[in-house]
Structure formats: C-alpha cells, structure tokens
Amino acid sequence: MKDNKILNEIPKEGFLKITDVKNHSITEHQRVILMRRGNEFFNKGEIEQARRIFLTIGYTDGLIRIGDYYYSKNRPFEAFKMFKIAPAPERVNDMIEKMTHIIQSWIRED
C-alpha cells in the first residue's frame, strides 16, 4: 500500500526543525579553518562530519552541497532541510513544486 511506504520514509527525527544556525561566538579565522575542515570531510565522503561543521558555521555553499548530496541519494527530506537552512530559495521552491505535483497525482488516483 502506498500510504505505508510514505510513512516509512518520514525521518525518525521528524520533518523539519529550522533554526538560525549562525554561530556568532567564533571568529572569522576560526570560521575559515572550520570551513576548510568541513570541505575536507565532504571531499573524503564523510558527509555527516561535514554537515555538522557547515551547520555550526552557517556555511551556505556547504549546506547546499550537502543538500545536493542527500537529494542524489534519494533522501529528499534531508535535502529539503539543508536547502531551507542554507538558505537556497530556488532549490526549496523547486522541491516544493515537485512535491505539489506528486500530491496532485495521488489525489487524481483516488
């Protein structure tokens, strides 16, 4: 049944918890060091480590790349969350449009 499959795809931590992720207590020098370290993790495929760093420093480009990675791995909820936090309004709007089309097709099927 389609409904069960959909429910199984909801992340265990829920849908979205969006907050302002910028950490104002770190210096610009510390931010640059953390950004480089996050990029190293990302390039080595250690995505979750990179995600934590990018969230901590509010690194928009890094968060968008994490969102793109999640999207490519068929993890749309996580991708949407990263795009929303980044913020990346074009990607958010694109995903909302796609979700709207999916819901409309479900409604037509019933």
What residue ranges do the domains of the chain occupy?
A: 21-109
Positive or negative CA dihedral for 17, 19, 25, 29? positive
Question: What CATH code would you report for 21-109?
Answer: 1.25.40
- pLDDT category of residue 26 using cuts at 50, 70 and 90: confident
What stretches of 58-109 show up as alpha helix (H) in DSSP?
60-72, 76-85, 89-109
pLDDT tens figures, 29-78: 999 999 999 999 999 999 999 999 999 999 999 999 999 999 999 999 99
pTM across the whole model: 0.75
Average pLDDT over every residue of 93-103: 94
Tokens at residue 84, please? Answer: 């929303």
Three-class DSSP category at 99? helix
Residue 14 contacts residue 7 (beta carbons within 8 Å): no
Q: What percent of the chain has pLDDT over 70?
A: 77
